[in-house]
Amino acid sequence: MTGSGGQRRVPKAFLESLKVPLPPLAEQRRIAAILDNANALRAKRREAIAKLDQLLQCVFIDMFGDPVTNPKGLSELSLGELVSSTKIGLVRSANEFGEDFDIPYVRMDAVSADGKFLPDKVKKTSASESEMSDYALEPGDFLFNTRNSKELVGKTCVYNGPPGWTFNNNLMRIRFKEGVASSVIAMQFQFGRVKRELEKRKSGTTSVYAVYWRELQSLPLLLPPASQQQKFAAIKAKIEAHRRALQRHGTQFDDLFAGVRQRAFAGTL
């Protein structure tokens, strides 16, 4: 709420809900200013993370051109021509995964709509040695969400967790032939050209849609020279490392902000 002169006050109802006395107006303004400044820093960190995503797309276009128009005349191949193997993940019921198990189990909610792997969403399951020999993930594996709602089916990411994790049957693990960088392929799934092609390949009911390999393998993709792919992959790795650092710091800052807010309304700030 705002007092005279446009200056903010701490909401009275909020203070009363905390069972603390209402401080003088000057103290309310001081608390509000501290919290406003802290929240502005949080917003700037979120903005910095968003700009890193924009930067990666700009790097891709600068190196390879817009995938829609292919101005650099890169080779165009189908996804099926680039792939060495595919694998649908392990089936597990709801009571077969959770924190009581020991094998990290990547499900479709660990793949974001904008192409990121979200390790904090990963649950755990159990798996035999033979299952792990077939279904273990390796860094650089390309994950494709085969079944979901119409809007979310076809989500993708490059797995960047450690070896020895496994994955759910709503995901397909795709490994590429030598000379094909998964990061370059994954980036193309964030552009309109591939998204439109995916839309043509979706089929399903009102609530559940799927993209099957028999349709997906004809998806057209650009293949830059191997040396350029490696260069892009190195740049992407640096940008993602910086993003992860910002996210870690952001989590720490959120915890600090919560502590400051608690102290402010307890009258100890």
pLDDT the model gives residue 47: 79
pLDDT the model gives residue 104: 97
* Strand ranges for the chain from DSSP E: 75-78, 83-88, 103-106, 123-125, 142-145, 147-148, 156-158, 166-167, 171-176, 203-204, 209-210, 220-223
Which residues of the chain register pLDDT less than 50?
Answer: 1
Phi-psi region at 98: left, alpha or beta (left = phi > 0; alpha = psi -120 to 50) = left
pLDDT the model gives residue 6: 55
Which residue has tokens 């650092």? 245
Q: Mean pLDDT, the chain, as a whole number?
A: 87
pLDDT the model gives residue 5: 53
